[in-house]
Amino acid sequence: MTGSSDRSTANDATATLTATSNAPNTTSAQRPSAVRDPAAEDSVETSTSAPAAAAPADEVANTTSNTVPDAPQQQASQAQQAQEAHEAPLLAPTTTHEQQATTAPSSSSYNGSHNDGHHGRHHGHHHDNIEAAGHDDASDSDEFSLTEGYETRSTGSTSATSSIYAHTYEHGRRYQSYKNSRYPIPNDDAELSREDMKHAMLLELLDGQLAFAPLGKNPQNILDIGTGTGIWAIDAGDRWPMARVRGMDISPVQPIWVPPNVDFLVDDCEQEWLMRGEVDYAHFRFMATVLKNLPVVLGHAMEALKPGGWIEFQELNCEVFCDDETMPADDPVKVLYDLTQQAFAKFNMNITMPKILKQYLADAGFVNIQCVVKKVPIGVWAKDKTLRLVGMYQKMAILEIMQALAGRPFDALGLDQVQKEMIMMEARKGLDNPRVHRYFNYYFWFAQKPQ
């Protein structure tokens, strides 16, 4: 009886050791889990750190010496372990927002990308990198997957149809398919990154200010028309946490990860709006030049605003100026934008509209109309450090829109590929000359609905 009991104990110990040696070493970092469970992590740490109960030393030694596997079994075990080792990299974890925020960039899998503070969207340019080196090759990949609990578009739109989500591709770029001939600039990742860079530029220019209109400390309802990437709306949601901020655009390109007081509506602002007398502030940026029916849009804004509510346009007037006669009449950058003005006119758009917005606001019934005009240098010729940074942003914005201008806009002028390339080449050379002191005028119009 004693010998039988010893053999039984030895066999049990052998099974324990064999199971332990053959089990795949699966740690919590290898399991593909989208959500962290603190309780589960605690249990994993406990099970992997606590030593298993060991058999007496003489029994373990006895068992080890008497349980050598034969050659076929050993080969099968090695083959299984090799297969497990080959498949292990496929078990990459899904990193959540919380894990990314707390994980140090020490492993080789860290891709060098960073969260820019705008809730998960990567941008192609970053303030620090631009100031130091002038360019930053950031990743184009999206950082976050779909996250529940955040509204990204309204289901109550009266005018959004399936066609609004369609795209077309021309000249290697992606365009919004809705009202196909309406907007001649792409809506792909390159253009979205450029728009976000211009947002960073305006934050520098305005010292972090998001609006000139006197909104007070607690506006309740804010509407961002032509929200694009949604970056202004997201910043506004952070700035005014008690307000409801809604962004409207015909392109569904906004991020998923947004503050809880921000949402997006895929809709056409030239169609009838859903809001009536409930908006404290209607914000437009780079919209006056591309709206074909500005009076109709201003009428919708008037209906949506509360009595005493504010409307604001933050606009680039696309005319190249120079105050010190360093820019010749045939300056290639000026030629580029003179051609752009002609091209956009083919689409019934006026890129110099910002300088005449006052009359449109007055005709729509707005009062207390005010305007702030700021000069923005093109390039780094300004003495002021902030304006040098702003000028670098502006120069890069021009360089990055050139390919888009050579697409639909210059096609509308009937220019061939050789002509386009010559115009672009000369303009790039001109932008690299800091002795020519070019600048744009940015207009900030804000007005009030009568009480």
Residue 302 has pLDDT above 80, yes or no: yes
The pLDDT of 386-395, averaged and rounded, is 96
What is the per-residue pLDDT for 66?
Answer: 42
Q: Rounded CA gap, 33 and 107, in Å?
A: 19
pLDDT in tens, 52-107: 444 444 443 344 344 444 555 555 555 555 444 444 333 333 333 333 333 333 33
Is pLDDT larger for residue 138 or for residue 420?
Answer: 420
What is the per-residue pLDDT for 164?
Answer: 59
Q: Identify the DSSP state of 70.
A: P
200 near 125, Cβ under 8 Å? yes
What is the per-residue pLDDT for 247?
Answer: 94
- Which range among 7-11, 160-164, 318-322 shows the weakest confidence by mean pLDDT? 7-11
Residue ranges and CATH numbers for the domains of the chain are: 137-448 (3.40.50.150)
Q: Rounded CA gap, 318 and 355, in Å?
A: 10
- Please list, in sequence order, all residues whose beta carbon lies within 8 angstroms of the beta carbon of residue 397, skipping any fewer than 6 positions away: 194, 197, 198, 201
pTM of the full structure: 0.64
- Which range among 177-186, 301-310, 415-424 shows the weakest confidence by mean pLDDT? 177-186
Q: Rounded CA gap, 431 and 144, in Å?
A: 36
Q: What is the mean pLDDT of the chain?
A: 73
Cβ neighbourhood burial of 412 (10 Å; 0-12, 13-18, 19+): middle
Residues forming beta bridges with residue 317, ordered by sequence position: 441
Sign of the C-alpha dihedral, residues 123, 128, 130, 132?
A: negative
- Please list, in sequence order, all residues whose beta carbon lies within 8 angstroms of the beta carbon of residue 130, skipping any fewer than 6 positions away: 136, 389, 392, 393, 396
Q: Rounded to 5 degrees, what angle do the CA atoms 32, 38, 42 make?
A: 95
The pLDDT of 112-118, averaged and rounded, is 38
The pLDDT of 355-384, averaged and rounded, is 96
222 near 244, Cβ under 8 Å? yes
Residue 201 has pLDDT above 60, yes or no: yes
What is the per-residue pLDDT for 180?
Answer: 53
DSSP assignment of 315-342 equals: EEEEEEE-SSS-S-TT-HHHHHHHHHHH
Helices 57-66/2-22 angle, 10° precision: 70
Q: Rounded CA gap, 36 and 363, in Å?
A: 57
Q: Rounded CA gap, 144 and 113, in Å?
A: 12
The pLDDT of 210-232, averaged and rounded, is 93
Residue 333 has pLDDT above 60, yes or no: yes
Q: pLDDT exceeding 70 applies to what percent of the chain?
A: 61
